[in-house]
Amino acid sequence: MQEDHNVTKNFLGSENDVFCVISVDGHFSYFNDAAPKFFCCTAEEIKEKTIFDLMSPLDIERTKQAFQKAVEGTPDTIENRFGPEEKPCWVSWNIFHAEGLIYAIGRDVTSVYEDRETLQTAQNRLRLLHQATSNPNQTLGEKIERVLNLGNLQLGMQTAVVSYIKEGSYSIVRAKSDDPRYVKGKEFDIKQTFDGIVLNAGNLVGIQDIKNSVYDEHPAHTATKFESYIAIPLYVDGEISGVLSFAGNEAQPKEFEITDYDFVRLVGQWVSSSLALLFANEQIAYTAAIVGSSEDAIIGQDRNGLITTWNQGAEKLLQYSAEEIIGKHFSILIPDEKKEEADRILGELLKGESLEHYDSFRKKKDATFVDVSVTVSPILNEEKQIVGASSVLRDITREKEIDKAKTEFVSLASHQLRTPLSAINWYAELLRDGEAGKMSKQQKEFVDEIFIGNQRMVRLVNELLNVSRVDFGNFSIDPVEIDILEISRSVVKELVPVISKKKLNVSEIYEEKTLMYLADPNILRIVIQNLVSNAVKYTPEKGKVIVKIEKQTVAKRLLIEVSDTGFGIPENQQERIFSKLFRADNVQEMDTVGTGLGLYVLKSIVEESGGSVTFDSTEGEGTTFTVLLPLSGMKKKEGGKSLSQVTP
């Protein structure tokens, strides 16, 4: 038996396991050399005490029960703790009973227990994080604040901050702190914060005891008075956009553990994704506020033309409230005479063809009309498919009124100007004709200057009147069957004095002797007169001018083409050539007489007649203007007023 005991003793005498023989009441009758390490005391203490004295009071009852079971013949395993409460040594025992004694073999399982505890902490924190972030009734901002609060509690900190850092500026997105300095929206100098360290590291930073670290002298230490700090950079769209930090007013009692870092990492990840969402939400809210508060009516509609959005501007302009109009078809807003236009534009838009910006009018709830400027754009989804259209309507009643007043003024002023101009004209003429006696050569010269100057004034007034009629849209087009070549020939004939003076070579290319065409003779004359006199005016001596008119039966159009070997239009000014009062620099320098109104009027009347005007020009080489009119004739237009001929 003794020999057996020795063998057993040798076998169990290893440093790794504890072996002891104990009476049922806990007194040791034997223990091996490893025992003091397991029980966290000396061998002497073991001899004096029972095993129950040495273990954690929490485990005594269970251990006694296990001993009793062993005595009853059903031995079991048991785990219990020894040593200091805050850092106990966990021992897992195999026990059995023989000859009134308890034989126990124990193994140190502290590390297993610690791992389990870590796991439990992590699990617990995960559960809390889930709780803090899953309340559907809370806004994202509130959730972030709850998470910050949770972080403070879990890490034993007092200040949690989510910062937004961009191009050196630092502001707080959300904060949870007992210090009133840390509130949403507050801005700081980044150098006075520890977040700068995180930004530079680009990774997790933990400082357990700032005073006893390399950061003792950091300006942030003086500024914040924080003594501990743990933080992680926040990535939004792959870039560091801020920092999540937790800071304590005291140093941490021990180093941050892996669980702490893991926790901060986890919270950081959640905050990062929330931040992206928060920014997006704020952007949406901001945009919505702009749209909502816009004075312009902003209206969205789906592919079927049903109204989907309706802002305050729309309510004000068109009198319908959002509630009554959303879901209705947009045609409710379109006056009958504009239905075709609106359908066409929407159709083109949905095909992705074009964007339009145009003046029109819309029907209000009270069935009256309002003048609007309309901008229509397609609404695209993420796959770039057109899902609807948005219209911005601007009230242009006031502009229209001003325009009208302006046009009326020009019209009135022009008429009033005509009387004194006539007087100058006629009296200069009387003098020139010698009706008041013979004049000296110089007197005649002076009167000629008065007469020529006045003629220019008359021409300008006539052109201004034409512009006002074009702007007002109240000129009429009365097409009748006429010989267009007769008009063209007479225009060229009128210019013969200038043509011969400049020694220009003017050729007229007509396929037939007569060319009957349905046109307003007055308008047609203005068009041809304008093109030919421009060519003559802007072509230097001995240059060439070609006037070509032909019916293009296949293309179903009438072509009027005037080309010259003149100064040409500078390329950078070509797009403005049809603008009111525009004159190209090169001809302005040469001091060629011109008002800059001719081509403006020409373009308007050609387009109103159903045609188009284009040009091709190279500076220093010449210009070709091409007017195309429908072969069927000019479009009739009611207006009441005729345009004046502006003779050169």
Partner 1 sequence: MFRKKKQILVLEDEAALSKALCIKLENEGFQTTSVENGEDAIKLIDTRMFDLAIIDLVTPRIDGFGVLKHLHSVNKDMPAFVVSNLSQKEDMKEALSMGANKYFIKSNISLTEILDEAKSVLGE
* Residue 415, SS3 per DSSP: helix
Q: How far is the CB of 499 from partner 1 (least distance, A)?
A: 22
Nearer of residues 326 and 421 to partner 1, judged by Cβ = 421
Distance CA(512)–CA(389), nearest Å, equals 51
- In this structure, are strands 544-552 and 505-510 parallel, antiparallel, or unpaired? parallel
Residue 409 touching partner 1 (CB under 8 A): no
The interface region with partner 1, picked from 32-40, 144-152, 421-429, 578-586 by CB under 8 A, is 421-429
Nearer of residues 89 and 465 to partner 1, judged by Cβ = 465
Residue 458 touching partner 1 (CB under 8 A): yes
Distance CA(118)–CA(124), nearest Å, equals 10
The interface region with partner 1, picked from 124-132, 281-289, 304-312, 420-428 by CB under 8 A, is 420-428
Selected from 465, 467, 531, 577, the binder of partner 1 by CB under 8 A is 465
Q: What is the DSSP letter of 641?
A: B
Selected from 476, 592, 612, 624, the binder of partner 1 by CB under 8 A is 476
The interface region with partner 1, picked from 272-280, 374-382, 454-462, 553-561 by CB under 8 A, is 454-462
What is the pattern of x (binds partner 1, CB under 8 A) and - over residues 135-174? ----------------------------------------
Residue 427 touching partner 1 (CB under 8 A): yes
Distance CA(79)–CA(94), nearest Å, equals 9
* Residue 563, SS3 per DSSP: strand
Residues whose CB falls within 8 Å of the CB of residue 132, separated by 6 or more in sequence, listed in order = 143, 146, 147, 149, 150
CA atoms within 13 A on the CB side of 446: 6
CA–CA–CA angle 49, 52, 56 (5° rounding):
120
Residue 450 touching partner 1 (CB under 8 A): no
Distance CA(250)–CA(214), nearest Å, equals 17
Residue 435 touching partner 1 (CB under 8 A): yes
Distance CA(386)–CA(378), nearest Å, equals 6
The interface region with partner 1, picked from 45-53, 57-65, 576-584, 636-644 by CB under 8 A, is 636-644
254 class by beta-carbon count within 10 Å (0-12 exposed, 13-18 middle, 19+ buried): exposed
Selected from 379, 421, 546, 559, the binder of partner 1 by CB under 8 A is 421
Counting residues that bind partner 1 (by CB under 8 A) gives 25
The interface region with partner 1, picked from 63-71, 356-364, 395-403, 417-425 by CB under 8 A, is 417-425
Residue 452 touching partner 1 (CB under 8 A): no
512 class by beta-carbon count within 10 Å (0-12 exposed, 13-18 middle, 19+ buried): exposed
Query: 């889930």: which residue's tokens?
Result: 130
The residue ranges of DSSP E strands in 32-147, in sequence order, are: 77-82, 89-98, 101-108
Selected from 284, 289, 322, 430, the binder of partner 1 by CB under 8 A is 430
- The answer to whether the CB of 279 falls within 8 A of the CB of 260 is no
Nearer of residues 390 and 474 to partner 1, judged by Cβ = 474
Residue 640 touching partner 1 (CB under 8 A): yes
Residue 647 touching partner 1 (CB under 8 A): yes
Residue 448 touching partner 1 (CB under 8 A): no
Q: How far is the CB of 408 from partner 1 (least distance, A)?
A: 14
Residue 461 touching partner 1 (CB under 8 A): yes
Number of other CB atoms surrounding residue 220 within 10 Å: 22
Residues that bind partner 1 (CB under 8 A): 415, 418-419, 421-423, 425-427, 429-430, 433, 435, 458, 461-462, 465, 476, 478, 640-642, 644-645, 647
